[in-house]
Chains A and B, each alone.
Chain A
Amino acid sequence: MLHGEPFGRPSTVLHLMGLALIFVAAGMGVCALIELASTNRDSGALALGALISGAVGVLLWWRTREGPTRNRDVFAAVGWTWVTMTLFGAVPYLLAGTFATSGVGFVEQLVNSIFESTSGFTTTGATVLTDFERPGRGLLMYRQLSQWYGGMGIVVLAVTVLPYLGVGGLDLISAEAPGPSSDRLAPRVSETARRLWTIYVLFTVVIAALLFVVPGPSLYDSLAHALTTAATGGFSPYANSIGHFNSVLVELVVIGGMLYGGINFALHWRAGRGDFSAYTRDAEFRTYALVLTGAATAVIAVLWLSEPLGGTDAIRAGLFNVVSFGTSSGFGNATGVESPGNYVLWAPAAQIVILFLFVVGACAGSTSGGITIMRMRVLFGHLIRSVRRSQQPRAIVAVKHGGVAVSEDVVSRMAGFFLFYVLLICVGVIALTMLGSDLETSIGTSFSMLGNMGPALGEAGPTSSYADAFNQPARLVLAVFMLIGRLEIFPMLLMFAAPYRVVRDTLYR
């Protein structure tokens, strides 16, 4: 029996999992209709997936209720919800036989399906899909939609869970607002989430409309790319990603969308209310602009000077890729392996800049991944303070963000976050090399997966498939890394705490 007091503690977790599955099932249902109306190859798989996810979701949601939420319950709820979504999200791929090419057994299909689903819901954008002609248009739209769901989930995460961690985007944005202001945009979490979702939906619609207006993309293409641009995800129904259109206008629209998606959504809300100076007042936004401008200038200069590229090609390839990775989107504009947009062939100095962007990410409170600019600012302040204290041991120096002192607790937690980030990169590199990948690919992919970028370096570049670059166990490791990166590390590490304590208490009794 799931209802009632004996299951009161885990009911919040199950309740949320049920709700998430209902949403996923709805998405699958819509995509099944699209499939039915277009290619009609995978409509059965999508419908069956919707049925399974919906049934389990309704059962969980209906038979449980929200219970008291302690920290460990919140972590468990977030972690398990994402894991459940990715597992159930893999069902349509598996049922449709998306990865059933010759010589691929069931286990590998399962691994590939889980990888693709995880990459979608975590808005990473890495893919093991090699034949983009095989899946139907509905299934490809579901793949795009999974990223949009992931982005929406991150918006919720930013207002509900990250403040618990003391490292969220919205608990520091108040420092930038003049006068007394709340940490959140509205007193209630649900109201805040609703407002942010409104921005997210409007943003998606605007991008879709702009893409439809410019020559090239069809309505389907516009909608598909708008979903993943808003989510800073990077999936595309085409193997060459945005490079498929080979259009400057399309690239400019996508660049604009990625830049907008990389900004704290709370600032968009304030701007929407007429307070446009909220952007310029925000220290994180200013640093974001500075980082992207600096990185783009550096990459374009390196490409211009060291590569046999003309000025226009250097600007086009450099700007697009810098924005793509600076916002953790992962779109590519390479039209082929030898194209200027294939950054794996760039000079090492330009690749180092890309690797730097893998780590930094965009603003907190956006749909982007990476360490985020805000954390980097606080960590830099922490570094300066520790140096000053080594010179003047008794000095009292506060770490400031936007002119306001950041509490010691938050600084400590951010230092802890950074430490875990570094540890995970080391673990990832060693694990991937142990599993047979080369060192350059392993380093690039560890950074890329933890920052939810998508394409990486070496054999996992923008024109490669992860199916060719990594073996099955490595793909599973990468899927775990995507989840850890998307959930800002701690929820994934602590999601076992609540079940562990339940089991421990039960055994103890």
Chain B
Amino acid sequence: MNSSPSSSRSRLRALDPRRSRADSHILLTISEGLAGLGIVSAVCAIAGFFDDVGDSIVLGITGVLFTGVGVLARVKLKRRRRPTTAAVLSGLAATWVALVLVGTAVYLISGTISRVDDALVEAAAGFSTTALTTLDPSELSVPMTLWRASTQWVGGLVGILIGVVALPMALQGQRLTPTEWSGDHNTFARGKIARRRQVMAIYLGLTTIIGAAFAAAGMGAKHSAVHALTTISTGGFSSVPDSFASFGTGPTAVATVGMIVAGSGYAIIWWAIRGRGKALRQSIELRVYGAILLFGTLSVWWRADGLSWHDSLFTTASAASTTGFAVADWTSQHDAVTALLLVIIATGSMIGSAGAGLGISRARILVGFARRELRRQLDPGSVVVLKTGGQAVDDRAIERITGHQIAHLATCATAAGLLALAGVDLLGAIYTGISVLSTHGPGIGVGAFGNLENFSQPARLLLVPFMLAGRLSLVPLMIGIVWIVHAQQGLRRESRAFLRVWPERLASSSLFARRALFARREQ
């Protein structure tokens, strides 16, 4: 056994309770998330100070407090080089919960929302980038309007970081990203920190560009900022109650391009920035995304009454990127339009984007898997390798994706069932269940503009866990399922063991008690 003094020291350090307490990945992740929110809150407070001092002070305090928490955590807590998968996944879920709780508190303290449950739903919709609201956004102060949009911006950033940085790290080498991300076209930053910075720089840059484009298209400063924040994050919150129906063609066109870009994913944007035309041309995922947009637009245009081709493109882009903006009330259109949009919403956007849903990459692999199974039915002995982007997909990845698909559908069904139980009509429950899990939001039942006024309070609250599940790629729910199964198995084991041994124990304990009594009497 080789035991150097340094390794002994590190082992001793690990045994030190103070050290092990400080070595927390989960706490660090939460504090980083809160610090991000703190910075954003401070910016919103400064930007809207002259409009509403009270709200700005609340946001300013939030900003200072949580930026401080972040700095403190950075100093006090130590980051593990290799956190366990469970720690990474739990950290993501806990961060999201912490963000939502802080958001709820901000809404309540600022007096923007008086009910706790409504504040919780609004905060959850913000951080999950779901375009559902309990508010009339036109009645909000400037700082709160900006902050509300910023919650989606933070949520979108968290979504991208989960897809590009956290999950690949958590799954320890299991393939999560499309195969075309690897190979010759892979020029992304290698390290986790560097890649995170790269993503943040792109995200911030695109937000600025879209904001500038909105302003150039004739939107005011407030509207431009809000819509830029919620477009790049595929959030869908608007500064007006009827989303893009009240804006002209220019802003609508900018939003359409913005949504398409936001739904296309980190890799595509990176290649476009680097001028890698070949990589873009060869990306099958991008081609599928384009095909969905084209087919969806043509179908919506064909079947919808009163929607122009650019309105149809807008509506399709909103669904494909799971943003949730609306230019018209598409839920009252022909049933074929709503059915097609539902399928597009469920499919979701490209991997590495802020959008959610099943994911085009996963859908592609599933279609390939289906074709392989069909071939194997004909020739059971044949070995059919499933390829994507010219590279073989290993069986573990296929297994994970098929498992994810089952989980996704089961969660949709659960959401629909619970919503129906809460009084939502059948079609509304199914549509909203699917839409919320894709972090899209609007649909039949809620309406095209995502206002939850028709939903009862229990129905609104029920949406919160499904927003969380959608935003975090079902990770928290899956952990919950495993925990429940383990608990149930453990309970069954324990109860069987108890039933086996309790007569003996009872006999022995009563015998012991009797003996003890006799002994005491004798004494």
Contact = CB atoms under 8 A, between A and B. Distances in A.
Interface of A: 71-72, 75, 164-166, 302, 347-349, 351-353, 355-356, 379-380, 382-393, 408, 412-413, 415-420, 422-423, 426, 429-430, 433-434, 437-440, 442-443, 457, 490, 493-494, 497
B377 A352 contact: no
Given A356-B417, A393-B171, A426-B343, A415 B336 contact: no
A420 B367 CA distance: 9
Contact of B173 (A387, A393, A442): A393
Main secondary structure of the interface of B (DSSP, over half): helix
Given A420-B370, A433-B334, A443-B427, 18 more contacts: A71-B380, A352-B417, A352-B420, A356-B417, A386-B400, A386-B402, A387-B481, A390-B170, A393-B171, A412-B398, A415-B402, A416-B373, A419-B373, A422-B405, A430-B336, A438-B335, A439-B335, A443-B430
Contact of A387 (B372, B407, B409, B417): B407
A497 B343 CA distance: 29
A434 B170 CA distance: 43
B347 to A, nearest CB: 9
A92 to B, nearest CB: 35
A302 B336 CA distance: 31
A352 B373 contact: no
A348 B402 contact: no
A439 B444 contact: yes
A300 to B, nearest CB: 14
Given A416-B373, A419-B370, A439-B335, A383 B85 contact: no
A383 B340 CA distance: 27
Given A419-B370, A434-B336, A393 B343 contact: no
Nearest to A72: B378
Contact of A165 (B377, B420, B421, B485): B377
Contact of A416 (B370, B396, B410, B427): B370
Given A383-B406, A416-B370, A433 B377 contact: no
A346 to B, nearest CB: 9
B85 A392 contact: yes
B92 to A, nearest CB: 12
Contact of A348 (B334, B400, B420): B420
22 contacts: A71-B378, A302-B421, A348-B429, A349-B421, A352-B420, A382-B399, A383-B407, A386-B400, A386-B403, A389-B400, A390-B174, A391-B86, A391-B479, A393-B174, A412-B373, A416-B373, A418-B402, A419-B366, A419-B370, A419-B405, A457-B426, A490-B374
B369 A419 contact: yes
Contacts of A166: 380
Interface in B156-205: 170-174
A494 B85 contact: no
B399 A439 contact: no
Q: 5 smallest A-B Cβ distances: which pairs?
A: A386-B403, A416-B373, A348-B420, A433-B336, A387-B478
Contact of B399 (A386, A440, A490): A386
Contacts of A348: 420, 423-426, 429
Contacts of B399: 382, 385-386, 389
Contact of B89 (A379, A391, A413, A430): A391
A505 to B, nearest CB: 15
Contacts of A413: 373, 376-377
A446 to B, nearest CB: 10
Contact of A390 (B171, B373, B377, B410): B171
A383 B403 contact: yes
B14 interface: no
A439 B427 contact: yes
Nearest to B401: A386
A419 B378 contact: no
A71 B378 CA distance: 5
Nearest to A440: B427
A429 B339 contact: yes
A419 B335 CA distance: 24
Contacts of B429: 348, 352
A341 to B, nearest CB: 18
Contacts of A164: 377, 380
